[in-house]
Structure 1
């Protein structure tokens, strides 16, 4: 009885011990406790964590390489996340941490990648650049999750619907008629353009013919020029060109002499013109004085009293002459001794 009781107590104690060991092992396995110091820790600095929680996986190049060990508030406006990485895991060059949803069911993960591998999103890259420090702390940022993308997509869908409504309002029956009229006008314009191209093609053919004729004439002129050059060479060899040049020089000298004479003549004419101007001015002065009433000649020409007196004198002289002719003895007394 005593032996069986002891055996039962031993079995119960052993069972309790095994169960306790199993429970502790299960808890340690669930929490992924690092009993042997097989993990290395990495600190991440970010503005927010999104949906990241303790125990979420850490992924490097698609391979699970650790888990999130702690999340705590850091400096004002910042959050510090501690990542536990497996021993032997090497970080990529210039590493950064992207916090993003791993599935549609709300599971999140921390992905360690290179700065060059960050998606070309302006806000995301700005957040990474802002979170960088000079210490070993990695820069982190939260990528938009499915909910945010869905919200943005819903907003875009609403905007598209508004645009579609506006287009439907703008594109009414009148707009449709105007569009059909524009299409007909475009068809008419195409026809006119085709006719114009046909006519212009004929004109281009004519222009091509004219150009060909012009080229032929230019070729003939070139032949004539070549002939002229040959004649010039021949004339040069016979001395005719030298004679022509000498004659041209003689003509140039004579023309220069004639030009000099003409210049002298022009100078003399200028002097004569000046003298003539002086004579005309003086004559004009005389005429002005004669036409005036201040001088003797002016009084004689312009004073009516002088004219009347002169006319009276002439009449008296005529009467005197007539009286002398009639009665000469009255005026002439001739005595002969």
Structure 2
């Protein structure tokens, strides 16, 4: 009887112990307690968390890497979240946290991504910049969920309906006729524009041909210039250009010397001209005096009787010389003692 009682007590105690262990294990499992120190914690700051709740998954590059452990209100209307991640998981460079709806049934998740992978939304990026606090806190922001997107889409559809109603009111039969007339005018304008484009295309073809001809001429000129540059380069390498420059300098100096000599000759010619003018003036004075019938020279030049007397004197001298030759004894008497 005693043995049976002890056995029953042992079974009851064992059952209670197992039940307590199961309850404690279940509680720890439900709370996902970190018993082995395999979890690291991240602090995230955001203005709003939307529908994020405790236990929601934390996703990195599409893979679940942890869960949301705590959500609390912070200072200055900030919401602070604590995320538990596996210590083996490496965070992306410059990480941020995006709080998004993961399904249509109200399930949310926290996505850890790099700042470069954030969608190009100005408001979203502004919210992340505002939530940045320090090295131990990661900036977070909430993406619009499906309900918000549906509400926005509803407002947009309402605005489109209002615009459609206004268009229907404004677009009556008269507007339709005016629209048809505008379309007809546009067709005429298109035809005119096509003809103009065709004409201008022909002009452009001619211009293109002229441009190609001009480019050919420019290419030829460039080739000649290149050849000339080659000759100048070869002449420079052989010293011919230096020789030409030296000869040009020598010629310039000789030209300067010649100019100086020519200036001296010009000065001497000026003095000679002055002397010649003086001599001409004196000769003119002499000729004027000779031409006047005064003085010895004037009488000699202008008196015809002097010429006649001189001519008769010459004839008589000739007759005397002839007589002396013929009868020398009459004029020369030689006596010898």
Indicate whether the TM-score tops 0.5: yes
Q: Matches of 1:194 and 1:76 in 2, distance apart? A: 67
1:186-214 deviation digits (Å, cap 9, x = unpaired): 4455566678889x69x98xx99xx9xxx
Q: Matches of 1:60 and 1:197 in 2, distance apart? A: 59
Whether 1:48 and 2:53 are equivalent positions in the alignment is no
Give the count of matched residue pairs. 205
CA 65–193 in structure 1, closer or farther in 2 if over 3 Å, else same? closer
Match of 1:269 in 2: none
CA 179–78 in structure 1, closer or farther in 2 if over 3 Å, else same? same
Unaligned runs of 5+ in 1: 212-337
Q: Matches of 2:150 and 2:181 in 1, distance apart? A: 43
Q: Matches of 1:93 and 1:196 in 2, distance apart? A: 59
SS in 1 for 2:76: coil
Match of 1:131 in 2: 131
Match of 2:119 in 1: 119
Whether 1:81 and 2:81 are equivalent positions in the alignment is yes
Match of 1:233 in 2: none
SS in 1 for 2:159: helix
Match of 2:7 in 1: 7
Match of 1:94 in 2: 94
What's the CA shift for 1:12? Answer: 2.4
Match of 1:106 in 2: 106
Unaligned runs of 5+ in 2: 211-337
CA 74–188 in structure 1, closer or farther in 2 if over 3 Å, else same? closer
Pairs within 5 Å for 1:177-326? 177-189=177-189
Match of 2:253 in 1: none
What's the CA shift for 1:166? Answer: 1.2
What's the CA shift for 1:47? Answer: 1.2
Q: Matches of 1:115 and 1:79 in 2, distance apart? A: 20
Q: TM-score, normalised by structure 2?
A: 0.56
Whether 1:145 and 2:145 are equivalent positions in the alignment is yes
RMSD over aligned CA atoms reads 2.6
Match of 1:18 in 2: 18
Q: Matches of 1:168 and 1:19 in 2, distance apart? A: 74
Q: Matches of 1:161 and 1:185 in 2, distance apart? A: 31
